[in-house]
């Protein structure tokens, strides 16, 4: 990426605020801080497409999900999926592909082509469950450039601009957002070597890390060529292959994250939205 030198005259108070972001690691110096701030302001070079997995049955949220699909559970008067779409729009990601299955017609009925929400929505319909990777293969022709992939049942505060810059800097085929949890034994724990992910340890009894997969990914189209036919999981069928090629990266973040997979976590998220912890 070529760069040009630019001279600016800025108020001293603003310079002080800019300098306060410099940590020597993520923000190296004043010039780097300025570049990051401008990039965030104009969403420079961000992916323009997102793929959302919204086809699961949400069995742990029954009886709610007997009548509505999990991504449509209400939070502050709006479906969870609408909050996610609004977040993507803030990053100027306006072309969205949604994979639907269980009660998927309710998602299509509510969102339509996305025009009412300031985005364009395409649907991939799973006639039978295809896992977390199978639907991507169905959408392969639409995913011809770097894109964001999300689990449709998570809420999070994550700087997607910073994550994207990290992804490009590391020249990764796939980057996984990683979040720290107190008890990672319920999840797949990552083993890292610097920025690279070596492997995932599924639900370990003992662990050397508390960083887990947050269900937010940045993917290059080349990663999709590794997906087998039929039912497949990106976590077990695709990511290990990318890791073996030293092209799978992990991006730890400290912002809010919650998997709305249970009634308990759903109730917690409702309280967190009311308290302002979630910045959607």
The verdict on 24 and 50 lying in the same domain is: no
The verdict on 102 and 158 lying in the same domain is: yes
Q: Which residue did the predictor score with more confidence, 47 or 200?
A: 47
**pLDDT bucket at 81, cuts 50 / 70 / 90:** very high
- The verdict on residue 35 lying in a domain is yes
The verdict on 72 and 131 lying in the same domain is: yes
Torsion of CA 67, 68, 73, 76, to 10 degrees: -80
Quick one: pLDDT at residue 39? 56
pLDDT (mean) for 110-116: 93
- The verdict on residue 212 lying in a domain is yes
Domain count, the chain: 2
With pLDDT > 70 as the criterion, what percentage of the chain qualifies?
80
Query: What range does the domain containing 130 cover?
Result: 45-275
Token pair listed for 135 = 């639907």
CB-neighbour burial class of residue 218 (10 A; exposed 0-12, middle 13-18, buried 19+): buried
Instruction: Decide if pLDDT at 220 tops 90.
Output: yes
The verdict on 168 and 58 lying in the same domain is: yes
Quick one: pLDDT at residue 230? 86
The verdict on 180 and 266 lying in the same domain is: yes
- The verdict on residue 5 lying in a domain is no
Catalytic residues: 203
- The verdict on residue 164 lying in a domain is yes
SS3 247: coil
Q: Which residue did the predictor score with more confidence, 11 or 49?
A: 49
The verdict on 202 and 265 lying in the same domain is: yes
211 closest CA partner among 226, 224, 193, 225? 193
Handedness of CA 261, 262, 266, 268 (dihedral sign): negative
- The verdict on residue 1 lying in a domain is no
- The verdict on residue 238 lying in a domain is yes
Q: What is the pTM of this model?
A: 0.80
DSSP symbols for 130-178: -TTTHHHHHTTTT--S-EEEEETTEEE---HHHHHHHHHHTT-SEEEEE
- The verdict on residue 7 lying in a domain is no
- The verdict on residue 245 lying in a domain is yes
User: How far apart (Å, rounded) are the C-alpha atoms in residues 189 and 202?
Assistant: 6
53 closest CA partner among 273, 216, 257? 216
The verdict on 236 and 127 lying in the same domain is: yes
Handedness of CA 218, 141, 70, 92 (dihedral sign): positive
Here the CATH number for the domain that contains residue 217 is 3.90.550.10
User: How far apart (Å, rounded) are the C-alpha atoms in residues 248 and 184?
Assistant: 20
């Amino acid at each position: 990426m070529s760069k040009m030198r630019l001279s600016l005259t800025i108020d001293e108070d603003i310079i002080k605020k800019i300098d306060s972001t410099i940590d020597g690691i993520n923000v190296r110096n004043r010039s780097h801080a300025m570049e990051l701030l401008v990039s965030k302001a104009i969403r420079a070079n961000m992916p323009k497409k997102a793929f959302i997995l919204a086809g699961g049955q949400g069995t742990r949220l029954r009886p709610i999900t007997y009548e509505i699909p999990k991504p449509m559970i209400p939070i502050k008067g709006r479906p969870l999926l609408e909050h996610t779409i609004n977040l993507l729009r803030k990053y100027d990601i306006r072309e969205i592909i949604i994979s639907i299955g269980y009660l998927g017609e309710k998602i299509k009925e509510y969102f339509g082509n996305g025009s009412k929400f300031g985005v364009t929505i395409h649907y991939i319909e799973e006639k039978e469950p295809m896992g977390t990777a199978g639907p991507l293969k169905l959408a392969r022709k639409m995913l011809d450039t770097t894109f964001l992939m999300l689990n449709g049942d998570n809420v999070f505060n994550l700087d997607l601009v910073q994550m994207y810059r990290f992804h490009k800097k590391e020249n990764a085929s796939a980057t996984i957002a990683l979040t720290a949890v107190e008890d990672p034994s319920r999840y797949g724990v990552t083993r890292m070597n610097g920025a690279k992910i070596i492997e995932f340890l599924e639900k370990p009894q003992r662990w050397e890390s508390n960083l887990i997969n947050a269900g937010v990914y940045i993917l290059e189209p080349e990663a999709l060529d590794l997906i087998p036919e039929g039912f497949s999981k990106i976590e077990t069928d695709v990511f290990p292959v990318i890791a073996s090629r030293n092209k799978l990266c992990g991006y730890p973040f400290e912002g809010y994250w919650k998997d709305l997979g249970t009634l308990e976590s759903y109730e917690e998220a409702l309280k967190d939205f009311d308290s302002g912890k979630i910045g959607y």
